[in-house]
Amino acid sequence: MLISAKYCLGLLFVGATAVSGCSSAPSRANPPNPRVLPPAGTATPDVSELYRNIGLLAAPSPVAFVGKVSSFASAFPDTTLVLVSISIPNHALTFTREGDRYRAPYEVKLSLNRGEVEAANVNAMEIVRVGSFREVNRTDESIIFQHYFHVPPGVYVISAMVRDVGGSRGETQQDTITVPALGMGHLSTPVVVYEATGRSRLDSVPGLLVSPRSSAVFGRDSTVAIYVEAYGQGTRLPVDFVVRNEKGVQLLRDSATLARRGALFSGVVSVPISTVGVGIAQVSFTRRDAPDSVKAALFVSFGEDIPLMSFEDMLGYLRFFASAGRLSTLRNAPPERRATAWAEFLRATDPIPETSINEDMQSYFSRIQVANAQFRMDRNPGWLSDRGMVFVALGEPDQILERNVNQQISTTQMGATTRLQIWQYRNYSSQLVFYEDTGRWRLTRPSETEFLSLNTRRQR
């Protein structure tokens, strides 16, 4: 039996919560020096690589997608129910106008192979429609494709292909997976879900809306929901679960009870994000009546298109985005209040509260990526070079002028001809001057003072 489903998520994530605001005393801390490097590395990681590291299928841009494989018991001991879920962001597809809406066709091919034999496959053509141009550029988990297979337990090579039909481009990912034999005394794969309706018969499928990325956003999501099944006798089944970070440090230990639903046990376990914090975590479930234990990866980030980093490192990245007072409030928040403080910070700096992302912060980190590529220096990342920090803070200049002058600007030039770059910003009625000094472009002292003043005025 093959069952497919496709979902288009709305602008707000399921389970997103509003956090009540509170006021803070004004900070007396000095503003961070933009020339002081953050203690940790600042290279922007490949998000698809992070997803692969936690056991997911992940393809890079331009047709980025993330896939997850989950296993459940079936009505037959020699067959396992396998759910393959694929997450596709809207911006990976090419949309065209359709009346007052936008449409994008895409294709998904999935196959499970044992050696040279194809055990199962599906080829689906789908169309996603959105109501506004803003939704076209969404980078979150906006499209979810799901398909159930029934296959014998064993080792398989899974191949997943997603093709953007309108853009004639696609990406394929392969991985080796082990499909377990599940029955009495076992637990299913724990699955991060947006919605879950448990089943009561093993010859049916659970009603799940899965999060293939197995992710949550710090400060926006209060909890993450994990669906799990168990198989055996009795009226209820207690299970213990432990959350550990990527270093193996225990963050949370708790228990839950799975209710009896016909031929099996099932339930949704809620894990508080404030306890997990930011980073990659692993949730382990163990039965009390049997030795079976299963694990699920959990990816908690600051938001879409924002590199995974610690809370402290994030504050270093935001030096050109937010005011010293706002950063001081975040820095002084105790660990148990960081999620709330971050939610308040996002709400205060979000230009379009109706959407699920902070567009200004998303653009800010996009500029960091561009600056790292265009203005990279020998030792420091590009976004902390003089041109990089101006680009990140103020955006792309309206015009760049270059000229040579016979004028000594720094003590190292010894009166030689100096190359200048003049960046003009019309909206600030400003022009900032850079000079070339031993192969590096530096702000002149007056321009540095002007930049710091401009950035202080524009910071949220």
Element (H, E) at 194: strand 191-197
Question: What is the rounded distance in angstroms from the CA atom of residue 71 to the CA atom of residue 3?
Answer: 14
Question: What is the rounded distance in angstroms from the CA atom of residue 284 to the CA atom of residue 242?
Answer: 5
pLDDT at residue 61, rounded to an integer: 86
- For the chain, domains (ranges, CATH) are 3-301 (2.60.40.10), 358-458 (no CATH)
pLDDT at residue 186, rounded to an integer: 97
Q: How many residues does the chain have?
A: 460
**Mean pLDDT for each 10-residue chunk of the chain (460 residues)?**
57 26 32 40 61 91 94 97 97 95 97 96 97 87 96 98 96 97 97 97 97 90 95 96 92 96 97 88 94 91 76 90 93 88 90 84 90 78 92 96 75 65 96 90 95 87
Contact indicator for 434, 418 with CB cutoff of 8 Å: no
Question: What is the rounded distance in angstroms from the CA atom of residue 329 to the CA atom of residue 222?
Answer: 20
What stretches of 99-168 adopt beta strand conformation (E)? 101-114, 117-130, 143-151, 154-164
User: Beta-carbon neighbour count of residue 3 at 10 Å?
Assistant: 14
Question: Could you tell me the maximum CA-CA distance found in the chain, to the nearest angstrom?
Answer: 89
Question: What does the DSSP assignment read for 259-321?
Answer: EEETTEEEEEEEEEHHHH-SEEEEEEEEESSSS-EEEEEEEEESSTT-----HHHHHHHGGGT
Contact indicator for 138, 91 with CB cutoff of 8 Å: yes
pLDDT at residue 174, rounded to an integer: 97
Q: What's the pTM value of the predicted model, to 2 decimals?
A: 0.76
Among the listed residues 214, 56, 68, 47, the one whose alpha carbon sits nearest the alpha carbon of residue 139 = 47
Q: Output the CA torsion sign for 146, 149, 152, 154.
A: negative
pLDDT at residue 408, rounded to an integer: 59
Question: What is the rounded distance in angstroms from the CA atom of residue 137 to the CA atom of residue 150?
Answer: 35
Residue 425 has which token pair?
């910003």
